[in-house]
Chain A
Amino acid sequence: MNALPVDVTDGWTLGVIVGLSLVTVIARSFFFISDRDWPLPHWAQRGLQYAPMAALSAVVVPELVMSQGELVTGLDNARLWAAAVGVAVYYWRRDVLQTIVFGMAVYLPLHIGWGW
């Protein structure tokens, strides 16, 4: 990579970027692209109550307990400590911003300082 001149823009990559933009629109609009009426059954409406929580957990928890595709079992895991403090701060202050600030205050020293 270092041998290549910096800042080469190629058409193939730009094409993939256009394709990914269309993917964004199609995925996010999937069920309302069509004009046809498509009433949602009651069971589906109930089920969707759980979707946001499920999606967030599915994204967040592997980030906390896994590294390079492997489960991290040791306690030298800066992310887990930061998340624990973040959750505690949330239930203490009920504030997402403070969750981030206190979580990062735990994460950065452990991660950069100790190399966890």
Chain B
Amino acid sequence: MFWDARLRAHPQFRVAVRDFLPQWPGIAAWGLMTGVTMVKSGMSVWEATAMALCVYAGSSQLAALPLIAAGAPAWVVLATGFCVNLRFVVFSLHLRSYLMHLPRWQRLVAGYYSTDNTYVLFTRRHPEAAQAPEAREAQQAYLAGLSAFNWASWMAASLLGIALANFIPPEWGLGFAGILCLLGVQCSLASSRLRLLAAGVASVVAVLVYALPYRLNIVLAIGAAVLAGMVMEETRRRLPGVRS
């Protein structure tokens, strides 16, 4: 990870920083609004700071806030946090092949620092896990660069948001920059018709079952879209005449 000076000195570390730069404004705005929202939901400055520094998961933080404010039982807050984070369970299945050569504690650290942005950017630049030692080191350096800058940008913005909470009205909706950022990443991933199909299926399902508790709509949408992509891929393999 990024405390390893050898990885920081690796050229891929700088490539990661360059790739991360377009994400920066979105992360910063999203972190800023999460910081503001934590304090506005009734948390003390210390609680909000502890949450920003430890939890490091914007969507699960935002989902937990109304439950904490309402005095919901701790297990409900934690279960909600886990369900909102279920997409990361899917990502961890994918990241496994890139990380299994590391000792367990390093894998857990890498897991802690992986976010939507780092996962998408990492797997976009490195679609396959490397096997050779040098190639593995390059991938680890790239991941370390993404993790370091994502973490630093998010933390700086969150802490700034906590400090400025009383000056920025949440009604401005600056957090929408985070959504626009994800939208841009989506466009960059739309490289095949099957991926567009997956996007369409996921969108429709996520809206249709939006009323499910704990943001389970996201989990169902991912499952349906992955299934649709795989079924169409199989169908195309059997019917070579069908255009991709």
Chain B 222-244 against A: per-residue CB contact (8 Å), 1 yes, 0 no? 10111111100100000000000
Residue B131 lies at the interface, judged by CB distance under 8 Å to chain A: no
Asked if A21 and B207 make an inter-chain contact with CB atoms under 8 angstroms apart, the answer reads no
Chain B residues within 8 Å of A14, by CB? 47, 50
Known: A29-B108, A32-B92, A56-B189. 7 other contacts (CB 8 A): A16-B78, A20-B61, A25-B112, A28-B114, A61-B206, A79-B176, A107-B173
Residue B3 lies at the interface, judged by CB distance under 8 Å to chain A: no
- Are A69 and B210 CB-contacts (below 8 A) given A38-B96, A56-B120, A100-B177? yes
Residue in A closest to B190 when the chains form the complex, CB atoms? A53
Bound form: Cα–Cα A94–B188 in Å? 8
A-B contact pairs, 15 of them (CB 8 A): A23-B60, A28-B85, A51-B222, A54-B221, A58-B225, A60-B179, A61-B202, A90-B183, A90-B187, A99-B181, A100-B184, A104-B180, A107-B176, A111-B172, A112-B173
Chain B residues within 8 Å of A82, by CB? 176, 180
Asked if A57 and B225 make an inter-chain contact with CB atoms under 8 angstroms apart, the answer reads yes
Asked if B185 and A25 make an inter-chain contact with CB atoms under 8 angstroms apart, the answer reads no
Residue in A closest to B57 when the chains form the complex, CB atoms? A24
Asked if B230 and A47 make an inter-chain contact with CB atoms under 8 angstroms apart, the answer reads yes
Chain B residues within 8 Å of A51, by CB? 87, 90-91, 94, 222, 226
**Within the complex, what minimum Cβ distance (angstroms) separates B162 from chain A?**
12
Contact stretch, chosen from B4-12, B19-27, B153-161: B19-27
Chain B positions 178-234 with a Cβ under 8 Å from a chain A Cβ: 179-190, 194-195, 198-203, 205-207, 210-211, 217-218, 221-222, 224-230, 233
Chain B positions 70-99 with a Cβ under 8 Å from a chain A Cβ: 74, 77-78, 81-82, 85-97, 99
Asked if A100 and B96 make an inter-chain contact with CB atoms under 8 angstroms apart, the answer reads no
Asked if A62 and B202 make an inter-chain contact with CB atoms under 8 angstroms apart, the answer reads no
Q: Which of B56, B179, B180 has the most CB of A within 10 A?
A: B180
Chain A residues within 8 Å of B100, by CB? 32, 37
Chain B 118-131 against A: per-residue CB contact (8 Å), 1 yes, 0 no? 01100100000000
Asked if A29 and B210 make an inter-chain contact with CB atoms under 8 angstroms apart, the answer reads no
Q: How many of chain B's residues have a CB under 8 angstroms from any CB in A?
A: 98
Asked if B207 and A100 make an inter-chain contact with CB atoms under 8 angstroms apart, the answer reads no
Residue A52 lies at the interface, judged by CB distance under 8 Å to chain B: yes
Asked if A49 and B206 make an inter-chain contact with CB atoms under 8 angstroms apart, the answer reads no
Asked if A90 and B222 make an inter-chain contact with CB atoms under 8 angstroms apart, the answer reads no
Bound form: Cα–Cα A95–B57 in Å? 25
- Are A96 and B22 CB-contacts (below 8 A) given A57-B186, A107-B176? yes
**Within the complex, what minimum Cβ distance (angstroms) separates A111 from chain B?**
5
